[in-house]
Amino acid sequence: MSEAKQGDTVKVHYTGTLGDGTIFDSSNGREPLQFTIGKRQLIKGFEDAVIGMSVGETKSVSIPSEEAYGSRREELLLKYTKADFPPDVEPKEGLVINLVNQDGRSIFATITEISGDAINVDANHPLSGKDLTFTIDLIEIA
């Protein structure tokens, strides 16, 4: 039976959980996730876990935050004022906004606090700083 390796396109079903057991993502009820190992389409720890798996195999893997979405970074906690927002945008806590960094890439950020004219924004990935656990079922190697 062949094993998944670098360069293979695979299909998997998965369930991702946090340390307290909370499910943050799952392919249950959807089509399997398809990706090519080594193309960096997914977090490193997930791709690495699939290497060596055979079709029909199920594996549970714990991925430390460094191999997932990284540590939370203080420099991604940003401060703005209401004047920094377009006139047609009403800032409110929990609102996800699209920022553009110096490289021209889009970054999604969440407004975390509004105090008077001051607006605090967190541009860290929501799963940054968290260790993740995935149960992975290898469905197909193409």
List the chain domain ranges.
Answer: 9-70+128-141, 74-122
Q: Which amino acid is at 76?
A: L
pLDDT at 101: 80
Structure-token pair, residue 22: 């909370």
Do 42 and 117 contact (CB within 8 A), yes or no? no
Pairing of strands 118-122, 33-36: unpaired
pLDDT at 119: 97
The 10s digit of each residue's pLDDT in 30-70 is 999 999 999 999 998 999 999 999 999 999 999 999 989 99
> Cα separation of 107 and 97, whole Å?
8
The topology (CATH level 3) of 9-70+128-141 is Chitinase A; domain 3 (3.10.50)
Calculate mean pLDDT across residues 88-107: 90
pTM: 0.81
Alpha helices in 70-134 (DSSP H): none
Domain 74-122 class in CATH = mainly beta
Helix (H) or strand (E) holding 47: helix 44-50
φ, ψ (nearest 5 deg) of residue 69: -105, 10
